[in-house]
A = this chain, B = another copy of it.
Amino acid sequence: MSTETKIRPLQESDKDDWRCLWTAYLEFYETTVSEEVYETSFARLLSSSDNEYKCLIAEIDGNPVGLAHFLYHRYMWSVEDTCYLMDLFTDPGVRGKGVGRALIEAVHATAKRDGVPSTYWQTEEFNYKGRMLYDQVATKSPCVIYEKSD
């Protein structure tokens, strides 16, 4: 029997698995979030509100092995919103099976179905493994990003 990746929306019962996957993702970026952020974020993801992040879960054989967090938000240059894919993670144990690609495609398809024509994301310039995939499914922007938080 062939192994298949299934992509589906986050549900209430995913809480422990979701937390585990997201924590592994945050570790990759060498960051952590507070307990309050875990609680607030999970509630927001399940809220079905227009202005909250949504979450898709990737499953293999019924086991959650990846996630994507994405947000629709206004875009000044068009009437339609744009979609920001902020977090994308696949369990290292199932890398190379197309889970990341399936999640990106599912986010983009979901956005288009919701009237949001384009999806964008950021990644570190030296995230070579990620970029090998991203170069295949998307276009690198000529832009750089500046951040101000002081």
Contact = CB atoms under 8 A, between A and B. Distances in A.
Report copies per complex: 4
B144 A120 contact: no
B123 A146 contact: yes
Contact of A78 (B33, B52, B139, B144): B33
Interface stretch (A58-66, A90-98, A126-134): A126-134
Which of A86, A119, A125, A146 gathers most chain B CB within 10 Å?
A146
A28 interface: no
Contacts of A146: 120-123, 134, 138-141
A79 interface: yes
**Residues of A contacting B: mostly:** mixed
B142 A125 contact: yes
A145 interface: yes
Interface of A: 26, 31, 33, 36-37, 40-41, 44, 50-53, 69, 71, 73-79, 84, 86-87, 104, 108, 117-126, 128-129, 131-132, 134-135, 137-149
The 4 closest A-B pairs by CB, nearest first: A128-B128, A118-B149, A141-B145, A138-B148
13 contacts: A41-B76, A69-B76, A76-B86, A108-B148, A117-B149, A120-B145, A122-B143, A122-B145, A122-B146, A126-B135, A138-B147, A138-B148, A144-B144
